Structures are given as structure tokens and as C-alpha cells.
Structure 1
């Protein structure tokens, strides 16, 4: 198994389920021919091995991340309470990092949390700054990141990838001419790219531009689209994976953002059905404030789920996570209703791009991290209270 997951493993011969070619730049192009339904199903224990509650036992409000530290401890980031909570391996709360504020080690918004051994990187989207902590010493420093080229070039997420190097996910919104009279809504396609930077914020690597999200632009502004593609990024020691989420295609690079492989799975691209669109409209309707005027509600729904902008193929992927052994977990797209991208149906690819297993989680369960045969998940109950669990799973 270790040999299969090694990034430098030799290429296997072509099979009926997997073929690999090499393009002119030396990048391996792997195409999966296996039907998604043929991927072995891995089972997840129904009873958690460990449960983490908020320190005051009232429940987490809005979990933005949960991670294992290098020594087996765990952290939970609550974006609403603006704290990073550290727990020992038995689930006992040890300390809290950060608090609400604008000073060093304080947050206005916790967008992205990353961990390298016991060093923690936190991207504060509200303050546009990247703070570095350790679990034991607390706040260390602010790490410079590349500056935006314009007001329409936004650093959405930042990850600590090694030492003092950071990976930034940029979204760029092109300027458009005024929307023509008589046009209700039009597609506003954003561009995306990744930048790797050193401890001084100098760019040391950059990905090609790929498609970011798209929104719907109308006469009164723009609105998110429930079925927009959802770009995904995963970063681990020496490996980075990303994609537009428009089709099932993942680009894998080394730790310096040098391309190594692209994995494509044409059979995982599914048509968008009218039934799924209807279900999503109803889920969005239920999430809206009670008592909203029906006409306003319908106007909002027809904007967020704009018929003119629906894709023919549903976005296949919306999230990506690297397991600690190097395997890439890709989560099937679910239309976002509560804000965060959700995925409950996951496929696991080894370093060669071969699908090794499939894991299906209950609705309301968000995969946060993978370690060995354990999943770290955040769970939202029917009362909107959140907790973090460790669940064991069995590979087939």
C-alpha cells in the first residue's frame, strides 16, 4: 500500500480501468475508465471513537475547520466564536488560541486553517492577513502574502504548506460592460490561480489560470449561483491538488507548484437533472427567514437558481482533502445551502490516480481530515448545534 501511495511510484501498465499518457511538458495525463459505481465501498463506524464538544459545552456555532496536529492533538476552529480550540488526544480541552479583535493573534474572520506538524496557519479574510501560531506557544507572527494586482483580485484562502511558505488561492473578477437593457441576468465568470510565496511574501511559484466560480449579474448587482462550479484545493507536505470543479479533473503538483499529473474521470460527469434543481430550490426556500414575502422569496430563488445560467453537466467535485498517507480524497458536489461547500460522497485516489475506495457520510457530516483509518468530521444536528467526531473506517 505504501508503494502505491508514493508520489514517485512507477507507472503501471494500462488497464481497462486506467490509462496514462504524457504530454509535451512531461505531465502525466491519467484517464479513469472505471464506472463510479464499481469503486469499492468503504464502511464507516456508526459510533464515534471520540467526540469533541465546545469548551463551555453549549456546542460549536460555526466550525470552519478541524485538524489533527502532528503529535496527535486536535484543533477546532469556530468562525463565529473566533477561537482556535486545542484538545489532547483524549478530547480534553487544553487551551484556546486567538479571540475577536484586530490586534496580533486576534481575528475578524477565520476563513482557512492549515497545520504543518504543530504550526498552525490562519487566514483572516476580514483583515486580509495570515497569522501563524503554535499549539503550545500561541501567536508567533504575521506571515506576508502576495499583494493583489487590483481591487478585483481577491485572496480567498491561504494555507501554510511548509516552513514559512504559504499557498494563496486567488479569485479575479473581470470588469464587464454594463448589462444590456432587457437582460434579466448574465453569467459573470471569475478566474482563479494559486501562488506559492516565501516568508517575505515573494512569489516562488504560480499555477496556470483556471476557472473560478461564476455568479449571476443582474441590473441590481450580482448573486451567487447554487450550481456554479466549485473550485477545490488541497495542500499537504510536498503535494498540491486543485481543479475548477467544472468537470472531474484534478491537477496534481509537487510542493513547488510544478505540474506532475492530471487525473480525468469522464464517467463521473453527470447531467444536471430537473429533480435536483427542484430539491435545491426547496432546500433554499426552507433556509430563508420565516415570514419573508412570497414575491421576494421567489425573486431570490430565481436569482440564486437562475434557469438561464444552469449548467448542462452538474459540477462533479467541490472539495478535496489529502490523507496523511498521500491519497487524494475528492468530494462529490452538493449545492451549497448553508454557505460552506458540502460533500457527503467521497472517492479516494492513490498517487497514480486509481480509485481505491468510496466513502459515503451521513448528510450534515463534513469531512475535515483523514489520518490512517480515522476520519475527523464536523457534525451539525437538527438544532444547528455542531460537534467534532473521530470516526474509524474500514478499507476494502
Structure 2
């Protein structure tokens, strides 16, 4: 399907929020995950080492956790989830899944043995098991300095008990490069500008993976067997000199006091010929697949754009979201995510999803 075959339906979750989560006296620091179930919203904050629980009208109910390695403590909250009566929190530094009751009491903990760098949970299958990616520990670049490369990342299925059930696939990781270091004896690996990333999501008894090599998302069964291909044609967005300059300005502005240094670092960075055609991939509560479309740097100020596919892979709608908004979960008529304001402060919001 090409751009000319785009569906007429255009959905939107832009505009004023329906609800904003009230963090009380403690602002969000580094939100890694947020999820809603019924009238409860749970937010995982990695650097604050806490899980915050809100009512659906935005009121803070309680917080769970603190910095540490003991029961109910965290080194890094990488993911949060909910079951019918429990709150789940994953700490990749401790390799531990903590299970809390709805009122915040620690019920049990499960240690997961995974050798890698910050293993990430991408979702839960219908049977309660989880899809986890396990990036390798970063070493010195396997290519010449300044050239990009991608490691191979292992994906496994893990039971709620912490048992690793099986390996379900190996896919490319993020595109990175070795940046010059002030200390010649050391090296630094950084994500490449406009680099390809691999995104994964779980929907019922399938998981989906997009590597950014083409406008394509591959679906698999829980044991890793190919099941569905979702794809369409998309216009290529070349990385022109103007695009590089706009990207450099964006990075420098975001770096604040380090802006000039960040701009100099990009002078030796490997820019690709074109922007990867896909970004984030998510599944909604009704089994649809949402694929974030590539945008030029200047266009991002006008918000994000998504293509929505049904469970059979048919392109059924386009969707538009607000700028500087990271989507965490999509419900039947709402979208939960984090919006960064002009000062770089994050706000967890529920946006209304309007279909037309």
C-alpha cells in the first residue's frame, strides 16, 4: 500500500489533556513506563526509584519503593504493568520482578537470570509470560571509529515466576557509533543520529518487531514462528544538509549548557542517507497495531503521525498526536503518555482519542 492508498479515516489524540497526573511534591524525573487499568494509572520512574499510583482522575494515591537493593526497593524501574489485582515492576539492574498488591504491599519477588545490558520488557502475552529483549554488554566498536553498527539482540519469553521459557528470536539492536573521547585510552558508544532502532510490542498471542530497515513490521507467535507481515510503501525522507543542521540545533538546544559540545560531537557522527521510515510500534487495547511514521526534524514541532493497522494487517487509519509526547499505552478512546513542556519537564497525561 502506498501513500496514495492511505485510508480516509484520521484519528487524533492532540489537544488539551483529558487528565494530567498530579505528582504532588515529587516531580517525575525519568519516566520509563506508564500503564492504565480501569480507574488506576501506574507510572514507573527509573531515576527516582519509585512506582507512583494514581486514580484515573489524576490524583496521587501512593508511591511504592525507594533506592536500594532490599525487598521492595529499586536500582532502576524499567517497566511497570498490572494484572487484575497486582502491580508489577521490573528492575533490570537487579534482574528482579517485584509484585505488589493494589494497596502497595510487596507480595513476592522473582529473580530473572539474564546476561545482558538493561534487559527490557516489551509486554505480556495472554498467558502472563513476558517478552524481554536482552542487549549484549557494549564493547569496543567492531568497525572503524565513526562508522555505524548494530549489535544482535536476543529476545526471550519469561514466565511471571522468573523462569526463562525460551528464546524467541534475534533481531538488530539500535544503530550506534564510537564517538571521539577526550581521553584517548577510552571510548564512547553513542546512538547514531537518525539511527535505526528496533521496536517491539505484544498483542494477545503475538509479538511484533520493526527494525527500521523498511516500512515493515513482522508478527510472530509466542515461540518465535513468523505469523504476519504488516507493511506499506512510504516516501523516503532524505537527510539533507538542512536536515542535519536542524537536527544538530535540536540536540544542542536539548543539551542546555552542553549545547556547543553536543554540536561539536555531531560533526564526526555518521548521518545516514535517509531517515528510517518507522519509529515506535505499539498495540492498542482492541488488537490494532500502531506504527509511528518518520518525520523531518522541522515537522516534529507539529506533532507525531501514526499509521493504524487492524489485526489482519490492513491499513485502516492515520492518527495524529501532540508534539513532544511519548505514547505509553493506547486504550479504546484514550492515549496515555508523557508530554515534555518547553522547559523539558515531563507531565503524564491521558489524551482523548477521537476517531473520525
TM-score by length of 2: 0.85
In 1, Cα distance between equivalents of 2:312 and 2:344: 39
- Aligned twin of 1:366: 326
Partner of 2:110: 143
Are the equivalent residues in 1 in contact too, given 2:145–2:177 (CA < 8 A)? no
Matched, 1:387 2:342: no
2:311 to 351, 356, 361: 351
The residue that corresponds to 2:220 in the other structure is: 253
- For 1:205 and 1:297, the matched residues in 2 are separated by 41
Q: Which residue of 1 aligns with 2:266?
A: 301
SS at match of 2:245: helix
How do 1:42-61 and structure 2 match up within 5 A?
42-44=11-13, 46-56=15-25, 59-61=27-29
1:165 aligns with 2:129: yes
2:13 and 2:322 in contact (8 A); partners too: no
- The secondary structure found in structure 2 opposite 1:266 is coil
Q: What runs of 5+ residues in structure 2 fail to find an aligned partner?
A: 182-186, 298-302
Structure 1 unpaired stretches of 5+: 1-31, 337-342
Distance 2:65 2:123 in 1: 17
Would you say the 8 A contact 2:328–2:338 is kept in 1? Answer: yes
Residues 95, 200 of structure 1: CA spacing in aligned structure 2 closer, same or farther, 3 A cutoff?
closer
- Structure 2 residue corresponding to 1:210, chosen from 171, 192, 203: 171
1:97 alignment counterpart:
64
d(CA) in 2 for partners of 1:364 and 1:174? 29
Show the counterpart of 2:47: 80
The 1:204–1:74 alpha-carbon spacing in structure 2 relative to 1, beyond 3 Å, is same
Matched, 1:227 2:194: yes
**CA drift at 1:175:** 6.6
TM-score (norm 1): 0.77
C-alpha contact (below 8 Å) 1:53/1:60 kept by paired residues: no
Post-superposition offset of 1:197: 2.2
Counterpart Cα distance in 2 of 1:262 and 1:178: 31
Of the three residues 314, 318, 338, the one matched with 2:279 is: 318
Contact 1:144–1:199 under 8 Å retained in 2: no
> How much has 1:250 moved relative to structure 2?
0.9
Q: 1:192, 1:36 → 2: CA distance?
A: 34
Hey, what does 1:377 align to over in structure 2? 337
Show the counterpart of 1:286: 253
- Over 3 Å counting, the alpha-carbon distance change for 1:42 and 1:298 in structure 2 is closer
